[in-house]
Chain A
Amino acid sequence: MHDDGISCEALERALHEGRKLTKEELEHVEGCGECMDVWLTLALESKPEVVIPENFAARVAAGLPARQPKRAIWRGNRHWGLVSAVAVVTVLMVVGFRGSPPASSWVGLLFVSVVATEIAGLALWLGPRWMGR
């Protein structure tokens, strides 16, 4: 019991029950830490009333932008990546194996093959990314 004659326990019960408080009780809540804690929790737990238009979900769904078919785009890019890779590797092979000095020894052959493989790999990997931009 406080000096205003209001019991915190009774007041907390009233708050939980949702009973309308008197002016004196509201004044008590404002000054009493314990009762304010209960009031605050209940006030924060109360959900604000919102009016959601009945057709809101349908309207939003209808206004959504159409999705691009992802796979088709990637296949197209990969196609160009492959074309560029084949072209680069062919040119390299022709230059490397047609009488140029590095390809005349087994070391040169190995070197040209490694470089050609690397270029082909890079073209395959990067081709679709660049084309996708």
Chain B
Amino acid sequence: MQGDTQFEDLIREHQGFVFRTLVRLTGSREHVEDLAQEVFLRLYRGLENFRGDAKVTTYLYRITLNVAQDEWKRRRREQTHLSFDDPDAGWEDRLPSAGGDVERILSGKQRLADLERALGELSEAERQVIVMFHQEELTYEKIAEVLSLPLNTVRTHLHRGRKKLKERLQEGRSACTTTA
């Protein structure tokens, strides 16, 4: 069918965005393929009643954020029921890594892992705004449209989110003293 071929092209065009955003927002690569599939299925169903008062991409961004949010909530629920006796649960990965050796902590990879963790500690809106602005390079206007938020609120979320990230990454280290 021609409609399905068009939809397949649409998937191909936007799958990168969907996968990347899901990975960043959920903080995991686990089930990302299933989640991406869910995004496109919701989009397909939604397109039946799509009135064209917004762009399809805006609609797709919204669905991606909603799917990521649902997954995030599901994981948090699961995490609260996580048993320390369960060898497959991977609970040790969730513990803070402060006790690791210095080389490992200072390595770039570790810092990126810290960043991912710090992102996970932000509010939903702050995380969404930061990922869309920095990673996907969307404008303030577009983010405001996707999240149905005023422009200034988007700016505030971005500013606050970055500030929190910085604080968490620096972890109480005192700032450098300048010597002119």
Contacts and interface: CB of A to CB of B under 8 A. Distances in A.
A36 interface: yes
Interface string A10-28: 0000000000110100111
Contact of A56 (B15, B169, B174): B15
Contact of B176 (A2, A26, A53, A57): A2
A107 interface: no
B69 interface: no
Contacts of A67: 3, 48
A57 B134 contact: no
Interface string B18-56: 011001100001001100110011001100100000000
B134 A41 contact: yes
A60 B175 contact: no
B175 to A, nearest CB: 5
Interface stretch (A44-52, A89-97, A125-133): A44-52
Nearest to A41: B134
Given A48-B24, A58-B8, A61-B4, A40 B162 contact: yes
A31 B171 CA distance: 9
Nearest to B24: A48
A58 B8 CA distance: 6
A56 B170 CA distance: 40
Given A1-B179, A26-B111, A60-B40, A40 B165 contact: yes
B29 A50 contact: yes
Contact of A32 (B5, B15, B175): B175
Interface residues of B, number: 51
Q: Interface residue tally of chain A, by bracket?
A: 35 or more
Contacts of B11: 56-57, 60-61
B99 interface: no
Nearest to A58: B8
Interface in B99-118: 102-103, 106-108, 111-112, 115
A76 to B, nearest CB: 18
Interface of A: 1-4, 20-21, 23, 26-28, 30-33, 36-37, 39-41, 43-48, 50, 52-53, 56-58, 60-61, 63-65, 67, 70
10 closest A-B pairs by CB: A44-B134, A61-B8, A57-B11, A50-B19, A57-B12, A2-B176, A32-B176, A26-B106, A31-B173, A48-B23
26 contacts: A2-B178, A20-B108, A21-B108, A26-B106, A28-B176, A31-B170, A31-B173, A31-B174, A33-B175, A33-B176, A36-B166, A36-B169, A39-B111, A40-B162, A40-B165, A41-B134, A50-B20, A50-B23, A50-B32, A52-B19, A56-B11, A56-B33, A60-B37, A60-B40, A65-B45, A67-B3
Interface of B: 3-5, 7-9, 11-12, 15-16, 19-20, 23-24, 29, 32-33, 36-37, 40-41, 44-45, 48, 102-103, 106-108, 111-112, 115, 130-131, 134-135, 137, 162, 165-166, 169-171, 173-180
